[in-house]
Amino acid sequence: MVIPEKTLGEPPASVEPDNFSAFGARVLNQLSVSAWLPGAFLIVCAALLAWFRAKKVITLSGIDTYVEDNWVPLLVLALPALVMTTLITQAFAFESIRSLEGYWRRRGPASWWRSFCIWRKLRKKKALTSRFHAAQARAFHGARPTLLKRRISAAVLLAVEANVANVEPPPGISEEQLSQANDLEWWKSCKPWDSAKLLRLDQDLNEFPEDNRIMPTTLGNILRAAEDQLRNTNGDIEGFVMRHRHLVPSRVLAHHDQFRTRLDMYCTLVFVAATVAMASVPALWDLPAVDRMVVPLVLLVTSCVSYGAALSSARGYRTALRQIDNSVEDTHN
């Protein structure tokens, strides 16, 4: 490393005090906001499991008195434990997202399971596409009387119907009529319930990338579809936001950072809750069978709910990426 020479007359650089408080401040400064909740959740769950095991029953009776009588040692132990746990969960935040996206690098059973999941997602996409085309045909059939009242020619309607059915238009239709069929916004004349169904199916399909880019998980497909729709990445998706932060309005950046933080937090919480659920089984093995299964089930539900929250955050993150992409394009134009 080359150390630059000091400029003559330049004031000496400030040196941070080398004491315990400065060290603690530097450590806390390295912790992201998204890691605190999973870390605190892990500490609280571990404490509750220890309490249930000591009491031999799933109950919080007496815990308030215990904390009141031992709050000093609990506080002394809880703070460093929380910081260490937060450091550990933060270290695996990125890998948590990658794992839930479906980037499984191991060979053998993991690769077989990945292939099976990709096949299922591709099958689901094809089923959604078939349902979308069928819903389109029904919606156009319901909108046809309204279009006829607007004096749309029968030839144009035949071309639209062929387009909806994804088949070749019948012979005898001119290029002008085909152009009119392509420009006709026929869906504005269909029934409201048909429009709602078409919109829902279209939104579901937009969460899938191209067939050769399908991922094995829902989260992976949402994020990959968002990445593939960006137009100004120049082949570097990972550094897209970092390269263009100076071109994006502060409100859009705040929106992006907010949803990215939530995505990190919920993805980490999925694995934290699942890990504690597995650890709770041997920890509470001496309890009755019914009580022994309550805690793991609650934690597994928490893990599933966290995954659902991660999907919602990914959809918000996708919207933020689109806004950043539009801002970059507007700046270049």
- Judged against a pLDDT cut of 60, whether residue 28 lies above it is answered with no
- Residue that wins the pLDDT comparison between 31 and 132: 132
Nearest to 296 by CA among 282, 310, 286: 282
What is the pTM for the complete model shown?
0.80
How crowded is residue 65: how many other Cβ atoms within 10 Å of its Cβ? 9
Please tell me the distance from the alpha carbon of residue 234 to that of residue 241, in angstroms, as a whole number. 12
HEC profile for 217-278?
CHHHHHHHHHHHCCCCCCCCCCCHHHHHHHHCCHHHHHHHHHHHHHHHHHHHHHHHHHHHHH
Which pLDDT score is estimated for 15? 47
User: Domains of the chain: which residue ranges?
Assistant: 33-102+239-333, 105-214
Render the burial of 44-57: b for 16+ CB within 10 Å, e for the rest: ebbbbbebbbeeee
Q: What is the pLDDT of residues 75-86, one digit of tens each?
A: 777 777 777 788
Q: What is the pLDDT of residues 271-314, one digit of tens each?
A: 999 999 999 988 888 888 887 888 899 999 999 999 999 999 99
Which range, 86-90, 104-108, 265-269, is most confident?
A: 265-269
Which pLDDT score is estimated for 150? 83
